[in-house]
Structure 1
């Protein structure tokens, strides 16, 4: 997080009003027009468990989780694996900055109006000086647990929910800017609001909301005032006063407000010092920084105010449930089969003896990332270390071990599907350079006793396509009660294209 300015408003919190889907922004509070389902309590213990994971990741990777360092990718893998298990559709978006590959993680909750998207995000990276537990493990962990609570409760809001974890924020909002800049105008218009949570467990905590209504500054785009009022409403309900923090774009909301997307969020203070008046409002020490370990090696799990973290995590859920609209709930899916590819579960390469590829044959292994002139080709596993990949070794150059000369396939061991089986989900990518064509492809099929169904068919094209992990879901209810196998095939069927593919984090639910 970058340093920010704060503006003192006094102890009184503003009146809360619901930001309902499709509601127009207004400078004055408006009465809710419908009853909104109360948000569930977010487990502080679960949020802190995520923080402990981030700490362990930093400890095992040079003491930090910074852009371009292995600790960042391990943090992303941890978050992604939890979301995949919960049924989110995840996408890993890669970018390059200062000669290193960075990653954003997007997680879409199926359902809701995709023309009215509510986004919730924060940066996952830290600085190189330390593990970055408050900045911003705190926001990342609370957002993750809120997302998992959405899945756990089977929440189905009116709006489409998209959660985001940004890379390289500490270097200048690089990841979130890359995401927004690569949205089409139509995609931008579908995002009805963005909520940002960055440093929400500062040890000498304050309670700040971004000034969406412009009461102490310039405010945000139309709709930002409603977001601010909803967030303030949670704290009013628990008797905690809130002050404005300048909405100057110094965290990942910046790229969103620059293109007119309404935004808001919460913050508990960084290197700024708590005033005497603020100490009277919130407790803590006057004249001392909100976070004395800001951007320092001591930003560890010991650098967290549990009360502030708990209050802010609940505020995130309050905003998601209120702003998302009342859509009801449904029973979460039951997992009947999963394979994270970390151990041998019986996959067989070239099962029919018909493969024609001369290199880059499918295998289960630990992929070594490759790229060509900034285009990511072979990717690290989507979660953990193992994945199905077209030649795990990088080779002497990016074209040394990719799929060449034809087709390559791999097939799972038999999987018995119980009655009621509905959905197959998995992570996948197809990457190639502009010497590819539509003759190249990645296909995933379900093979049953009476035939097969292709559930993913991604062709190549004559353009550079960077590898990005995506999540695919398919209805396989027609195979319920049967024994099936999963069949994965890739092809370099054109003219010596450079093609890489991968599949990971497989799950079948009912």
Structure 2
């Protein structure tokens, strides 16, 4: 994490020295650390990150610094060796890696970008940490801790076979300590369309401070501190991270987007951001010590930007908890992809699933309103107006299920009736199709003002079916409909079914059955 006042540009004129990457201890071979406090079943999809694996990466960063003048700073050989180490780990498990170079203070810096194959390329979840240290020391907490944690999370993606709905991208930034130079270069060099594809950015800078606090970037300004909330969508990140810490009984506090780390360039262009932080040179208060333990009156990291920021300068408990919080956040926000050709959602109406009649309170129909029911057959003048049979099972959605003393006893009368589905979360990828069966029946006293309409409503609306009446007899007969609703991908939507006897008084009946959303 950079200082509030960046250090002078002493690196001017220094050339990059190519370094031979140290032989890495395989993370997979590292012994497994004891499991942390178990999270609830709802969080079980995200794997546990072995602390020993994360610490093995920190050992490598320490060895790299020791072999290269005691640091891993911008323009120094220890930084390039760190990039080579992380890149080698990612290349070995199938990530597509790109090394992006930039210049600052007369030296070449590097960002390492790693993309996991799959997921929606138009919905990128990006996770980053700065990889450089200051010149004064090896930078194991600042920010080997964040770099090692997100590296192990990326490796866990590969080990687990996680197939998220969003496209996952990880980044290790250069020259953060000199003013966010690497992340700023990356964001500023992105075309506008590419920026728009990054839906959320997660930043982890110092997650193992020895006198640790548990801070979460205040995405919605709920703590009322500092410069205010992040871009829309930042609150979701904050709430997701908080949910993990709540599950393990660890209280968190908000920390402001104060511009000291690599979220800065992202929020400046409107990309939602968030992350965790265990504290830097700030002093832990008595209240914070009571909340989290540790020593009041002492810095969260007494070795901040000093030569003593070594592998001995790590709080294992904080590092372990934060690594697992990162994993949970990536798994949760990344979403679970639905296998192509599978059913995303379906309803045969054989059980009550939470459909709501007259959801907006604006219906005008006085009789025969929509309901889930076991329909009775009705007919008039030899015309079947309501089917007593459904497409499957015994129930459907129907206007006035009862027969009554005649065909007109429970038909739709007086205006519009509507019924709305429970919330449906659509996957972010693939072609999405809503399919269902339907009929609209009426006698020759109907008009074109009478109708059956099915719409899917999210941030926009897709009309799946509109059928209007006419001055003719139309017998009830099940028909099939299908509509592409891919325009609503990744949204939480509801299906709205409406019918109207909106012209002159007429005999109108409608029904729908066997609704499903599928992905291909």
TM-score, normalising length: structure 1:
0.58
Matched with 2:62 is 55
The yes-or-no answer on 1:128 pairing with 2:128 is no
Alpha-carbon separation, structure 1, partners of 2:311 and 2:131: 15
Deviation readout 1:38-75 (Å, 9 max, x if unpaired):
20001100000000000000000000000000000000
Answer whether contact 1:249 1:257 (CA < 8 A) is retained: no
Matched with 1:2 is 2
Matched with 2:231 is 221
Deviation readout 1:121-175 (Å, 9 max, x if unpaired):
0100000000000000000000000000000111110000000000000000000
Alpha-carbon separation, structure 2, partners of 1:184 and 1:248: 26
Gaps of 5+ in 2: 5-41, 340-520
Alpha-carbon separation, structure 2, partners of 1:152 and 1:265: 23
Q: Where do residues 160-309 of structure 1 align in structure 2 (5 Å cutoff)?
A: 160-215=167-222, 216-217=224-225, 218-309=228-319
The yes-or-no answer on 1:109 pairing with 2:119 is no
The yes-or-no answer on 1:153 pairing with 2:152 is no
Matched with 1:315 is 325
Which of 55, 64, 73 pairs up with 1:66? 73
Answer whether contact 1:138 1:201 (CA < 8 A) is retained: yes
Alpha-carbon separation, structure 1, partners of 2:338 and 2:163: 5
Deviation readout 1:233-287 (Å, 9 max, x if unpaired):
1100000000111112210000000000000000000000100000000000000
Answer whether contact 1:273 1:289 (CA < 8 A) is retained: yes
After the TM superposition, list the runs of 4 or more consecutive aligned residues in structure 1 that deviate by more than 2 angstroms.
Answer: none
Alpha-carbon separation, structure 2, partners of 1:308 and 1:186: 37
Answer whether contact 2:216 2:275 (CA < 8 A) is retained: yes
Q: State the 1:328 CA deviation.
A: 6.9
Alpha-carbon separation, structure 1, partners of 2:44 and 2:197: 24
Q: State the 1:37 CA deviation.
A: 6.4
Q: Aligned to 1:176, what secondary structure does the other structure show?
A: helix
Q: Aligned to 1:117, what secondary structure does the other structure show?
A: strand
Distance change in 2, residues 1:99/1:116 (3 Å) = same
Q: State the 1:114 CA deviation.
A: 0.4
Matched with 1:43 is 50
Deviation readout 1:445-484 (Å, 9 max, x if unpaired):
xxxxxxxxxxxxxxxxxxxxxxxxxxxxxxxxxxxxxxxx
Alpha-carbon separation, structure 2, partners of 1:166 and 1:255: 12
Alpha-carbon separation, structure 2, partners of 1:327 and 1:62: 46
Answer whether contact 1:213 1:224 (CA < 8 A) is retained: yes
Gaps of 5+ in 1: 5-34, 330-510
Q: Aligned to 1:105, what secondary structure does the other structure show?
A: strand
Structure having greater relative contact order (Cα 8 Å, sep ≥ 6):
1
Answer whether contact 1:211 1:247 (CA < 8 A) is retained: yes
Q: State the 1:2 CA deviation.
A: 2.9
Q: Where do residues 398-409 of structure 1 align in structure 2 (5 Å cutoff)?
A: none
Answer whether contact 2:43 2:328 (CA < 8 A) is retained: no
Q: Aligned to 1:231, what secondary structure does the other structure show?
A: helix
Alpha-carbon separation, structure 2, partners of 1:322 and 1:36: 9
TM-score, normalising length: structure 2:
0.57
Q: Aligned to 2:207, what secondary structure does the other structure show?
A: coil
Which of 84, 99, 102 pairs up with 1:92? 99
Alpha-carbon separation, structure 2, partners of 1:97 and 1:71: 17
Q: State the 1:36 CA deviation.
A: 7.5
Alpha-carbon separation, structure 1, partners of 2:162 and 2:142: 29
Q: Where do residues 461-500 of structure 1 align in structure 2 (5 Å cutoff)?
A: none
Q: State the 1:3 CA deviation.
A: 5.0
Answer whether contact 1:167 1:174 (CA < 8 A) is retained: yes
Matched with 2:151 is 144
Matched with 2:381 is none
Q: State the 1:232 CA deviation.
A: 0.7
Answer whether contact 1:118 1:160 (CA < 8 A) is retained: yes
Q: Aligned to 2:312, what secondary structure does the other structure show?
A: helix
Alpha-carbon separation, structure 1, partners of 2:104 and 2:52: 35
Answer whether contact 1:210 1:245 (CA < 8 A) is retained: yes
Answer whether contact 2:90 2:97 (CA < 8 A) is retained: yes
Alpha-carbon separation, structure 2, partners of 1:287 and 1:270: 13
Alpha-carbon separation, structure 1, partners of 2:3 and 2:78: 24
Alpha-carbon separation, structure 1, partners of 2:306 and 2:255: 23
Answer whether contact 2:2 2:178 (CA < 8 A) is retained: no
